[in-house]
Amino acid sequence: MHDTQFVSRRKTKIETQCRICGPLVCRAETEGLLGHIAFFIYISSFLIISGLLMTYIASNYNIIIIPFTKTRISDMLLIAATFSGGLRIFVEGFEELIKHREFDIDLLVFSAAIGAILIGFYLEAALVVNLFVIADYLESIAVSKAEKEIEKLTQYFPNTARVIRNGEEKEVPSNLIKIGELIIVKPGERIPLDGTIIEGEANIDQSVLTGESIPVYKTVGEEVFAGTFCMDGRLIIKVKRRAEESLFNKIIDLVLKSQKQKTEIETFIEKFSKYYVPIILILAFTVMIGGSLLFSEARFIRIYKGLILLVLSCPCALAISVPAGMISGIVNAARKGILIKGSKFLERASEAKVVALDKTGTLTKGELVVREVIPLTSKYTVNYVLSLATSLEKASNHPISRAVVEHANSQGLKLLEVSRFREYPGKGIHGVVNGKTLIVGNLKLLEEFNIPLTNNVISIAKEKDAKGAKTIFVCENRGIIGLIVLSDELKPEAKRAIKEIKKQGIRTIMLTGDNKDVATSIARELEIDEYHADLLPHEKVKIIKKLSQKYGSTIFAGDGVNDAPAISSADVGIAMGMRGIDVSIETADIVLANDDLMNIPYLIELSKVTKKAVRFNVILSIFLKFVLVILALLGFITLIEAVAFGDDGLALVVTFNSMRILRYKSKNLM
């Protein structure tokens, strides 16, 4: 629960034993605080029903047992109901007053109940306490749902792992395994620690981290993460991070820490409560002592009205209206792999006027693929050119080489043995195959070997480069026999994501370090409103700041590594996917763990829904409190109605309205 300066609300906690009941057996030992509350609800409700039965059904037996106060059996039953239901809230409220010098709502409600007893309103005293406890019970259940969603994540983290030590396989607690040790994961098991596969291959279900339901194939050299599920295959993994430093634990910490971030609305509520509470408290005691502001009334009526104001003085519903809504929005986002560092960033996302995006790794997959193999004459076939080039490329670990080899493997081509291999950084590679000298590289390497270029070759290369492709030349015995065209593939959801962002009235802008021709081609294909090319990291920062000044709140999404300065300078910085995830968590305000661009329009839509719910909560809380205060002064509401509508009833409405966000799903973005 949220605390204010003057009035605090009980926080949900787990009791290991019942410190109030003592030796009396109640459900607190097995069910925590909720079990304890339920136990006293039963007792209090039983006593209230018994008192009512004695009053209206068995009135002949409802004798006076305390003559000088004319207290009957039914009255004593109702008093007992008040104290049985109110014992816990009195103890906790008094502790809050002594330890923190704060007026807890528990103490205010219990004081109002005692006051009602003193002026002879026994039924109202019992009902006030019982309604309060029931509402608190339901509210605690509702709020705990969000916490349970977070707690569910811990179920995916294995407590032990099979580690290889001294040549033997041993089962050891995960938190005792060191970086560099080797662990074994079998089919059907969850991976206990982050690491790199050194032996084996398997399909890995990463949905717990990314929200992506399709398993990802992983093999030697690829990274795997704690909490993910090994569907098939036996893996030997070299541990890269300790258990407490795993990506999985960072995600849990990220969601937990997000609850502590305050929004502008929360700051306003704290300031409002700072003045509201003491003013209503002073008004309550003024009414009790000096009479109504409008009428001259009997003493017990004045006290009764003062007690109503005492109950209304607590801004409980107002205090929980923002955090209940924001944490529901954050948990909803986390289910889709959108990790938000704080509620203030969720609030800022709702105000976005511009979404700026990096190109490589954000709009594109960030991986080169072979698009086309072009033989220059009919003498050479596509397979011949590709086979020669791949025979040479297989000896290199360059991204272009890996893309060519992967493409050739998919075609099932037979590769040849290479001798005298040499790599020229930033230019290409050279070697000998079947006695023929091969060169595969860019124009710089061709110039170094004085290989002649025809106008036709230059024209083809320029045409492909203008479309954002990378062209490499394949040469045999100092003559160009073909070209291989590669490009960074657009993410399949990129075009739809841009369209959905623009539907929400938000301007889209691309920032890239690529040349203008590439940027123009991508921007035109995706129908992006504006683009800036040939940018260095610090230049992106300058543009982000200008966009914020010109349009307002700006979101920037990048890959979290070279885009870190721009991410940190934006109003809302978003890091994409697993690439550079450690840097992303430190730098970005929001991390899209599943690397899905469609989560950006979903995030903006969810943030607007969340903010709308929070505003409704705040406006309803303030409006209803003021209306009830006026009605109390005029004598139009009872103590029971003050609790039912102005305190816990209102708090329940606010809480359940916030909990709707947990179930929110966008109809347009399904």
Q: How far is CA 241 from the centre of its chain?
A: 23
Helix (H, G, I), strand (E, B) or coil at 161: strand
Mean local confidence (pLDDT), 553-567: 79
Place 28 in a pLDDT band, splitting at 50, 70 and 90.
very low
pLDDT score, position 213: 46
Share of the chain above pLDDT 90, in %: 21
Beta-strand pair 507-511/354-358: parallel
CA atoms of 482 and 381, how far apart (whole Å): 9
- Tokens coding 44: 């209090």
Mean predicted confidence (pLDDT) in 375-388: 90
660 in Cβ contact with 606 (< 8 Å): no
Q: Taking residues 531-536, what's their average pLDDT? A: 85
pLDDT (tens digit per residue) in 239-251: 999 988 887 777 6
Tell me, yes or no, if 595 is annotated catalytic: no
What integer pLDDT is reported at residue 482 of this predicted model? 92
pLDDT for res 373: 92
Q: What is the spatial distance between Cα 93 and Cα 109, in angstroms, rounded to a whole number? A: 9
pLDDT score recorded for residue 238: 95
Beta bridge partners of residue 369, listed in sequence order = 487
**CA–CA gap between residue 463 and residue 467 (Å, rounded):** 7
| Residue 229, pLDDT score | 87
pLDDT, mean of residues 92-109: 68
Comparison of pLDDT for 264 and 613, the residue scoring more? 613
What is the length of the chain?
670
Cβ-contact 163, 182 below 8 angstroms: yes
CA distances from 464 to 278, 393, 458, 467 (A): 73, 21, 10, 5
Q: In what order do the strands lie in the sheet with 590-592?
A: 338-340, 590-592, 572-576, 554-558, 354-358, 507-511, 530-532
Reported as a pLDDT band with limits 50, 70 and 90, residue 638 is confident
The H or E element that residue 204 is part of is: strand 202-205
CA distance 517 to 458: 16
| Whether this model's pTM surpasses 0.95 | no
H/E element, 252: helix 247-258
Give the pLDDT confidence score for residue 10 in this predicted structure. 38
Strand partners, 216: 204
Give residue 476's identity as a one-letter amino acid code: E
Nearest one of 620, 663, 607, 613 to 146, comparing CA atoms: 663
End-to-end CA distance of the chain: 33
Tokens standing for residue 17: 């034993």
pLDDT at 515 exceeding the cut of 60: yes
8 Å CB contact between 222 and 262: no
pLDDT above 70 coverage of the chain, percent = 76
Could you count the other beta carbons within 10 Å of the beta carbon of residue 657? 18
Collect all residues with Cβ–Cβ distance below 8 Å to 435 and sequence separation of at least 6.
none
643: tokens are: 């609790």
Q: Position 558: which residue type?
A: G
Q: Rounded to whole angstroms, how far apart are CA atoms 523 and 519?
A: 6
Confidence of residue 267 (pLDDT cuts 50, 70, 90): low
pLDDT-derived band at 153, boundaries 50, 70, 90: low
> What is the structure's pLDDT at 1?
34
Q: Report the distance separating Cα 254 and Cα 586, nearest Å.
A: 10
Catalytic residue among 75, 106, 205, 358: 358
